Amino acid sequence: MQTMVFTGRLAAAPQISEDFGKAVFRLLEQRGTDNAGKPRLVGVNCVSWSKGLNEKVIARGLAQGCEAVVVGAFIDTAYAAKDGQERTAKELVVNRLTVLDWAEDRHSDAADDRAAA
């Protein structure tokens, strides 16, 4: 199994199960431009099965737009689509997570901006 490193910003807030057993989020990274000169975005779906990481870091520290580095391994996941067809998707199973831009910092910065105004 190969280890992958992916750096990007969260496309949306993470989805976390009530018992913190599973967290799912999507990272987006800009990788150059396409032939038309538009930014080329690459996205990866990440899943964490670590209860402690999900509760203490992902739930508290990540929100849409936060930047993170994820180290993990790709797996193929089978699922049934809405039309009933069986499909597969690649997911990056999180082994290590480094948060570069904490959601808490964003909230405190916004509060500081409001207090200064």
DSSP category for residue 13 = P
Q: What is the pTM of this model?
A: 0.79
Structure confidence at residue 26 (pLDDT): 96
CB neighbour burial string for 87-112, b if at least 16 within 10 angstroms, e if fewer: eeeebbbbeebebeebbeeeeeeeee
What does CATH list as the number for 4-116? 2.40.50.140
pLDDT in tens, 29-83: 988 898 999 989 999 999 999 999 999 999 999 999 999 999 999 998 888 888 9
Taking the domains of the chain in order of start, what are their residue ranges?
4-116
Q: Any residues with CB less than 8 A from the CB of 53 and at least 6 apart, and which? A: 23, 94, 97
**Residue 8: burial class (beta carbons within 10 Å; 0-12, 13-18, 19+):** buried
